[in-house]
Each structure stands twice: as structure tokens, then as C-alpha cells.
């Protein structure tokens, strides 16, 4: 009678057990789905027995890959720790779970369906095994390969200030970053020639930011060759330039002279003081946070009803109307544009009853607080008023929204 009750309970509620792991580091647990108790829904879970907390689960019906083949799981064998797969070729094969990757889940930054690159080949990640740390990719050529994650660059995110999608230079070659490798600190770059190259981050100059006073966009020279700075490398103190002849080269910062500064990074921009990789990384982490905060503010503002306001009357410039305002003429500087370039100078803006308005990624200006009047903010608040700014030898700088400000030429 007891045996009958035991068998009945097993048939109603399914069973769960763990295979011994004396000779295999992968422990497998098989479970039946109580909602649909059929063998087709069987799953196997592999856990990391080497001190990690990773778990790899694969079920019948999942997409799976083994070496250079991919297909669909049609069954699991918990006793032998095996998975049966019907491959795209039509063949069916049973293999050990340690050789399988599944088209789901993530390992570190590597997730199924992300783009990825291995050396000179790019494709899509079609399988991940977080326990064995293996990644399967289907390259753009159609070839499938399963490799250790340490050889793969993932096509998203950033690595110490270098981000996917940004311009980059490797010695004499320039291109765009298509992947970062957080394990070996490698960067994969799609060169303008169409070739993919994956190298250590220390050999890559990224097309943004500044290093010891030299910024991307500045005009520079190496000896008798003049050109434009297209990248900075804070790991090796190198500057990448594309010379007027069309040739590109990365050289040590001591061998570069700067001729003129770009508009994107002013002479007083705090980013020109960056000297280390840590400072470089923190600079762009801070900018990302500011951009995210402004983006949230823009979305909130978009939800509110738009109020149509009458254009304000012209208010003459001068200390009696706007303390600290300097009329803009040839060679003159505009304090409203200057006070906020350095974070340490925000106090000067506040002393004039102003508030710093940041405009990522590169500039800012001191605008009037509510209730006070700032001609620099009013002159460009409507496009029809640009002429008033031009009469002061100024130019309107638009923020991309419905406002702007008048700054010195």
C-alpha cells in the first residue's frame, strides 16, 4: 500500500534529483514542468562547482549550439549529463552538457543576440554558457564558431571611457569601435578600409576628449606635418592625428604641438586638464550622468502643455539692467558664456544672481534666475531677435530646443 501511494505521488507531482559529481565538475539537476508534465519540457541545470555562482539551464525546445553547429534541443538525459539536439542540417546528436551553449541568458556583459567580434570576424552571439564561459557566434559570413569568452568583444557598452560606436585610431589606421572585451581589455575596431582589428586597449586612441591640454578637433603638428587631432590615448600618452596629406599616425604627446583649439573644447574647459586614464574615464561617466538627467527633464517637459508666450520686449544691455554683463565687441569675452566652463567658476555666476545651465557634451552658460533679466538669454530666445545679438557682434548658440543664448564670436 505504501508503494502505491509513493508511486501515485511521484506521478502527480513529478520528481527532482541530483546526479553525483565525483568525476565531473558540472552538477546536473532535472526538473519536470508541473504545468505541462511531458518529457518535451524537461530541463537540465548546470552549476559552477569551481567556486562561482553561475547556473546554466537548458530545456527541450531551446536553441543550442555545439562547436560549429546550431539547432534545437529535443531532449535531455540527466543520468549521463547529456543533451540531444536536432541540428539545422537535420542530423540528431547527443552531446555532453559541458559542450553546449544556449540562445538565452548572459555571462558578464555577453548576452544572447548581442553583436560580437572575434579577432577579424564580426557577427551575432547565438549561444552562451556561463558555467563553462563559452560563447557561440554566427559570423556575418554565416560560419558558426564556439570560443572562450575571453576572445570575444561584445558590441555594446564601454570599457574605461572607450565606447562602442565611437571613432578610434590604431597607429596609422582609423575606424569605429564595434566591440569591447571586459575580460582581456581588448577593443575591436572596424577600420575605414573595411577590415576588423582587435587589439589591446593600450594601442587604441579614442576619438573624443582631451589629454594634457590636447583635445580631439584641435589643429596640431608633428615636425613639418600639420593636421587635425582625431584621437587621444591616455594609456600611452599618445595623440592620433590625420595630417593634411591624408595620412594618419599616433605619436607621443611630447612630439605634438598644437596650433589652434577646436570650438568643442574651449581653452578653459576642465576636460583639457585630464592627464590620466582614471580622470578620462570619470570625465565621460560624469557627462553620461548629466546627459541622462537632462534627457529625463526633457521628457518630463514634453508631457506638459505648451504655453505660448509673447516675445519679451528689447531690454538694453548694461550694468544697471544686468550686473556683470560685458557688451560684446571685437575681442571681447562674454562672462555669461565663460563663468560655467569650469565647475570651480560657478560661484561667479551665482554672485550675479545667475544659475549655470549645462548643455552636454561640451558647453554651458550662466543664465538669469527666475524673476531677473538676462539680455544674453533674451536676445536668442526667439529667432526673430537674433539681429539684436548680431548688433553686439555676437552669435546665437542654439541648444537644440526652443531656446538659445548670445555669446561672443
pLDDT tens per residue across span 293-324: 666 666 677 766 655 555 444 333 433 443 33
Q: Please, are residues 170 and 188 in contact by the beta-carbon 8 Å criterion?
A: no
pLDDT given at position 350: 60
Query: ∠ CA(174), CA(177), CA(182), 5° rounding?
Result: 135
Strands 238-243 and 248-252: antiparallel
What is the per-residue pLDDT across 147-167, written as a single tens digit (0 to 9) for each? 999 999 999 999 999 999 999
Report yes or no: 117 and 193 within 8 Å, Cβ to Cβ: no
Q: What is the mean pLDDT of the segment spanning 78-97?
A: 92
Q: Does position 126 have pLDDT exceeding 90, yes or no?
A: yes
Is residue 321 classed as helix, strand or coil in its secondary structure?
coil
**Which three three-digit cell numbers place residue 223?**
615636425
Q: Residue 326 above 70 pLDDT? A: no
Task: Identify the pLDDT of residue 393.
Answer: 55
Q: Is the pLDDT of residue 24 over 50?
A: no
User: Per residue in 281-293, pLDDT tens?
Assistant: 888 775 555 555 6
Q: How many residues does the chain have?
A: 409
Lowest-confidence pick of 159-163, 239-243, 350-354: 350-354
pLDDT at residue number 262: 87
Mean of the per-residue pLDDT values of the chain? 76
Lowest mean pLDDT segment, chosen from 56-70, 105-119, 178-192, 380-394: 380-394
Q: Which three cell numbers stand for residue 253?
A: 604627446
Check residue 349 and give its pLDDT: 56
The residue with cell 615636425 is 223
pLDDT tens digits, 370-393: 554 454 554 555 554 566 556 555
Cell 583649439 locates to: 261
Q: Which residue has the higher pLDDT, 82 or 176?
A: 176
Cell output for 88: 539545422
Q: Judge if pTM exceeds 0.75.
A: no
| 7 band by pLDDT with thresholds 50, 70 and 90 | very low
- The residue written with cell numbers 511531458 in the block is 38
- Residue 241 corresponds to which cell in the numbers above? 592625428
Percent of the chain with pLDDT over 70: 59
CA 402 – CA 98 distance, rounded (Å): 58
pLDDT > 70? residue 1: no
- Tens of pLDDT, residues 59-75: 999 999 999 999 999 99
DSSP assignment, residue 100? -
- Residues in a beta bridge with 188: 179, 198
Strand partners, 226: 221
33-42, 48-57, 269-278: which has the minimum mean pLDDT? 33-42
Q: Which grid coordinates belong to 337?
A: 558664456
pLDDT value of position 66: 96
Looking at residue 13, its pLDDT comes to 39
Dihedral (Cα; 81, 87, 93, 95), 10-degree rounding: -30
85 and 67 Cβ atoms separated by less than 8 Å: no
The mean per-residue pLDDT over the stretch 230-251 comes to: 96
CA neighbours within 13 Å on the CB side: how many for 195?
7
Helices (H), 266-345: 277-303, 335-338
List of domains in the chain: 1-150 (no CATH), 157-304 (2.30.30.30), 314-408 (no CATH)
Question: How sure is the predictor about 364, in pLDDT bands with cuts at 50, 70 and 90?
Answer: low
> Taking the chain, what is the end-to-end CA distance rounded to the nearest angstrom?
97
Nearest residue to 239 (alpha-carbon basis) of 180, 176, 228, 284:
228
Residue 336 phi, psi (nearest 5): -65, -25
* CA 50 distance to own-chain centroid: 32
Report the pLDDT averaged over residues 167-191: 97
Per-residue pLDDT, 80: 81
pLDDT at site 16: 37
Amino acid at each position: 500500500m505504501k508503494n502505491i501511494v509513493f508511486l501515485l505521488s511521484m506521478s502527480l507531482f513529478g520528481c527532482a534529483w541530483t546526479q553525483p559529481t565525483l568525476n565531473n565538475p558540472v552538477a546536473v539537476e532535472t526538473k519536470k514542468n508541473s504545468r505541462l508534465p511531458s518529457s518535451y519540457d524537461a530541463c537540465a541545470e548546470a552549476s559552477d562547482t569551481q567556486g562561482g555562482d553561475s547556473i546554466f539551464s537548458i530545456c527541450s525546445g531551446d536553441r543550442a549550439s555545439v562547436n560549429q553547429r546550431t539547432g534545437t534541443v529535443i531532449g535531455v538525459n540527466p543520468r549521463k549529463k547529456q543533451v540531444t539536439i536536432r541540428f539545422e542540417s537535420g542530423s540528431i546528436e547527443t552531446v555532453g552538457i559541458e559542450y553546449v551553449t544556449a540562445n538565452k541568458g548572459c555571462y558578464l556583459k555577453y548576452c544572447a543576440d548581442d553583436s560580437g567580434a572575434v579577432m577579424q570576424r564580426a557577427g551575432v552571439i547565438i549561444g552562451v554558457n556561463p558555467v563553462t564561459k563559452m560563447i557561440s557566434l554566427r559570423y556575418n559570413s554565416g560560419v558558426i564558431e564556439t570560443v572562450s569568452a575571453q576572445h570575444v568583444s561584445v558590441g555594446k557598452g564601454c570599457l574605461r571611457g572607450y565606447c562602442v560606436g565611437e571613432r578610434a585610431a590604431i597607429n596609422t589606421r582609423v575606424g569605429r569601435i564595434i566591440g569591447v572585451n571586459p575580460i582581456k581589455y581588448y577593443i575591436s575596431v572596424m577600420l575605414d578600409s573595411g577590415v576588423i582589428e582587435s587589439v589591446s586597449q593600450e594601442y587604441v586612441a579614442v576619438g573624443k576628449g582631451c589629454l594634457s591640454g590636447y583635445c580631439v578637433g584641435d589643429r596640431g603638428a608633428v615636425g613639418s606635418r600639420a593636421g587635425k587631432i582625431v584621437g587621444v590615448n591616455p594609456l600611452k600618452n599618445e595623440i592620433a592625428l590625420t595630417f593634411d596629406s591624408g595620412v594618419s599616425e599616433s605619436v607621443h604627446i611630447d612630439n605634438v604641438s598644437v596650433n589652434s583649439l577646436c570650438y568643442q573644447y574651449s581653452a578653459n574647459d576642465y576636460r583639457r586638464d585630464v592627464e590620466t586614464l582614471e580622470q578620462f574615464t570619470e570625465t565621460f561617466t560624469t557627462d553620461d550622468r548629466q546627459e541622462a538627467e537632462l534627457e529625463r527633464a526633457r521628457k518630463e517637459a514634453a508631457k506638459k502643455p505648451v504655453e505660448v508666450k509673447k516675445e519679451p520686449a528689447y531690454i538694453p544691455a548694461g550694468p544697471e539692467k544686468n550686473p556683470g554683463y560685458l557688451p560684446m565687441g571685437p575681442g571681447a569675452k562674454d562672462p555669461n558664456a565663460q563663468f560655467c566652463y569650469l565647475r570651480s567658476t560657478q560661484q561667479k555666476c551665482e554672485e550675479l544672481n545667475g544659475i549655470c545651465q549645462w548643455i552636454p557634451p561640451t558647453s554651458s552658460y550662466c543664465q538669469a534666475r527666475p524673476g531677473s533679466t538676462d539680455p544674453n538669454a533674451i536676445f536668442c530666445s526667439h529667432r526673430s531677435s537674433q539681429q539684436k545679438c548680431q548688433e553686439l557682434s555676437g552669435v546665437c548658440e542654439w541648444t537644440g530646443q526652443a531656446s538659445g543664448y548670445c555669446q561672443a564670436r
